[in-house]
Amino acid sequence: MVGRGQGRQDRRPFVSAGERDERHLLAPLPARGERGPSRREVLITSAAAGLVVATGLAPRPASAAVEAPETHGLSAFGDLKYPANFRHFDYVNPSAPKGGTFSLIGSTRQFNQNFLTFNSLNSWILRGDAALGMEWTMASLMVRATDEPDALYGLVARAVRVAPDGLACTFVLRPEARFHDGTRITAADVAWSLTTLKAKGHPIIGQLLRDMIAAEAEADDLVTVRFAPGRARDVPLFVASLPVFSRAYYANRAFDETTLEVPLGAGPYKVGRFEPGRYIAYERVPDWWGAALPVSVGQYNFDTLRYEFYRDRDVAFEGFTGKSYLFREEFTSRIWATRYDFPAIRDGRVKQVVLPDDTPSGAQGWFLNVRRDKFKSIKLREALIVAFDFEWTNKSLMYGSYQRTHSVFQNSDMMATGKPEGAELALLEKFRGKVPDEVFSDPFVPPVSDGSGQDRALLRRASQLLLEAGYPVKNGKRVGPDGAPVTIEFLLDEPAFQPHHMLYIKNLGLLGIDATLRMVDPVQFRARVDAFDFDVTIQRFSFSTTPGDALRSYFSSQSAAIKGTQNLAGIADPVIDQLIEAIIAANTRADLVIAARALDRVVRSGRYWVPQWYKASHWLAFWDVFERPPTKPRYARGAPETWWHDAAKAAKTEGKG
């Protein structure tokens, strides 16, 4: 899913920039708002071995899925924490009371959602800018346990049968599962939803479903999903996490149109009041059919979830101090360090906490659009990396709060370090001569500056790289092999990130590069990024601990040509494609880690982005009207899913005011 950072930080994916990491996993399961968005991958061995069910069932010769034993959960490698008779997740309070309001600025997005505004309630297509949080209104076949790397447990489906060859899954639906109009969710609805999402959904969805051959209703309560041989390991997990729509509702409506008509959902919340571009409120369904299920107990505790939209971070902060909303994850270190001293902080009405973030932090930086001729030279791209003074930026603008991002798997064991050895080296040897020699040495790490903001040694190094690439200086301007001046436009949609560009642009000017910053409104920004109409823009993404098919959307040759995907740099390298397939086909987590490290080395050797920063923690501030479980889920923030309204605290806070 995607998240915000100091410029914005997109977090993983349900899947996805600022000072902090811009998380964004635009992907399936992670948290909402900023959770983002995540999927997985690999090559070589039979990809059918990718999915293992709770029983540890490994692929064997093909047999009908309906003949396989039922299991209550799915995971990539069969490592389910919770048994079939579990009552609730360990990180919830099963006795949490219902009631109250949780209001926030969204920090993660999925698919076409926009952090700063919205003009549509259709969150599953490319067109339009959808409201954050629409996923609250929908139900999926299974839902994620956020204290496990990738495990899913039944929601609409009470069980699943996986064919021994891994090429079919039959989901057994709960008879009590209902849409909000009271109609039953049937296998026909599920089959229609999956087929429609593949054909008409957001390009990211279509790409991640490319290994799904068909979804077929075998009975009202049985739907079988069939996959192509060699399918990605996590495709069944992605399928199980997608929303289920009502086929009857869309019988006279176009699925792929933007609309402000409230769609028919089946989740714990319904759309309530909203004003496009300003706020949207989701109202808890009091008699929701899934409330007593083990995957729901202790969650969805607020009567109202309300997202506020601000186009300026300073104005948004003032809104928080004035109690216009109640919860805020802070992504701007300047604000965290200097502005949390208002009266409500001093008298205890507003609390601050720092929670660990154990998810892979991923990559954040300025991504260079290599589809454009000006960025074809790898030495030019490295020169742009060398010219950015992270140490000065971190010290002067971000209060020393961050660490430098190096890897697409930052803050995880999938990050490459040192020289490749053993199985990793053996995997890379297949590509010797097709990748830079650097891949067989220490992986690329951005240089460390002297922190002056204008490190002469690094600027000389950048200038030398440009000369070696055939970019001399003529009449004070850096020119390319064609004699034309080198110009770069940075595309941005949030003013809070402007200061982080200024020194960088100045240093590029010292190199003779004419760099400018273009601020556009959020709708235009989304449209230009989706169409790859930019030179350089900020992106933040991170993957789950079991990355898979989602990697294709970020790094594959195919995704480089598909509008709306996350491959902003336009990476199109056959070696990277093969390493992605190797990750997808990994039979064990150890094999996955090896292949991911190899991929990391090759991606980093391409110099596709100017690495920025990350921070492995959540900075949270909230009005003291909430309570939360003592245990935070390892791979999620836990709010608002597991928090609840505390009436006694609320009364006390009002009394202080």
Helix (H), strand (E) at residue 218: strand 212-219
> Would you state the structure tokens that stand for residue 377, as one six-digit string?
């030279």
Task: Map out the domains of the chain as residue ranges.
Answer: 32-90+128-252
How many other CB atoms are found less than 10 A from the CB of residue 355?
15
CA-to-CA dists, residue 605 to 416, 417, 437, 468, 611, angstroms = 12, 13, 9, 17, 13
Query: To which residue do tokens 């069910």 refer?
Result: 53
Quote the pLDDT of residue 9: 32
Share of the chain above pLDDT 70, in %: 90
Cα end-to-end distance, the chain, whole Å: 37
The CATH number for 32-90+128-252, chosen from 3.40.50.300, 3.60.70.12, 3.30.450.20, 3.40.190.10, is 3.40.190.10
Bridge partners, 367 (sequence order): 537, 609
d(CA 223, CA 238) in angstroms, rounded, equals 15
Helix (H) or strand (E) segment spanning residue 204: helix 203-208
Categorize the per-residue pLDDT at 83 as very low, low, confident or very high, splitting at 50, 70 and 90. very high
Q: Look-up: residue for tokens 């490749």? A: 420
Average pLDDT over residues 226-254: 94
- What are the pLDDT digits (tens) for 387-442? 999 999 999 999 999 999 999 999 899 999 999 999 999 999 999 999 999 999 99
- Of the two residues 212 and 46, the one the predictor is more confident about is 212
The secondary structure of 260-318 as a DSSP string is -SPPP--SSEEEEEEETTTEEEEEE-TT-TTTTSTTTTT----SEEEEE--S-HHHHHH
Q: Where are the beta strands (DSSP E) in 493-577?
A: 514-519, 536-541
pLDDT digits (tens, 9 = 90+) for 539-548: 988 888 889 8
Q: What token pair was written down for 26?
A: 């635009």
> Residue 657's pLDDT is what?
60
Retrieve residue 259's tokens: 């609309």
Q: Which of 346-355, 397-406, 445-454, 647-656 has the lowest mean pLDDT?
A: 647-656
Neighbouring-strand partners of residue 125: none
The DSSP H or E segment spanning 327 is: strand 327-329
User: Which tops the pLDDT comparison, 109 or 128?
Assistant: 128
* Cα Rg, the chain, nearest whole Å: 24
The whole-angstrom separation of Cα 645 and Cα 631 is 17
Using the predicted structure, report yes or no on whether residue 67 has a pLDDT greater than 90: no
Average pLDDT of the segment spanning 534-562: 92
* pLDDT for residue 358: 85
Share of the chain above pLDDT 90, in %: 80
d(CA 598, CA 601): 5
Q: What's the average model confidence in pLDDT over 471-490? A: 96
pLDDT of residue 46: 28
Assess whether pLDDT exceeds 90 at residue 654.
Answer: no
Q: List strand residue ranges (DSSP E) for 436-567, in order.
A: 473-474, 477-478, 487-492, 514-519, 536-541
Please state the rounded mean pLDDT for residues 296-316. 96
Query: Long-range contacts of range 573-579, CB-CB < 8 Å, 24 or more positions apart?
Result: 573/602, 573/606, 574/434, 575/431, 575/434, 575/435, 575/602, 576/602, 576/603, 578/43, 578/431, 579/43, 579/427
State yes or no: pLDDT of 52 exceeds 60: no
CB atoms within 10 A of CB 257: 13
Mean pLDDT of 81-86: 97
Q: Which of 635, 19, 3, 552 is nearest to 332 (CA)?
A: 19
Phi, psi of 213 (to 5 degrees): -80, -45
Mean pLDDT estimate for the chain = 89
Residue 185 pLDDT greater than 60, yes or no: yes
432/117 Cα distance (integer angstroms): 47
The predicted structure's pLDDT at residue 360: 84
CA-to-CA distance for 105 and 330, rounded, in angstroms?
10
**Of 26-35, 306-315, 471-480, where does mean pLDDT reach its minimum?**
26-35
Torsions phi, psi for 122 (to 5 deg) = -95, 105
pLDDT digits (tens, 9 = 90+) for 348-385: 999 999 999 888 888 899 999 999 999 999 999 999 99
Query: Side chain identity at 629, as an amino acid letter?
Result: P
β-strands 168-173, 212-219: how paired? unpaired
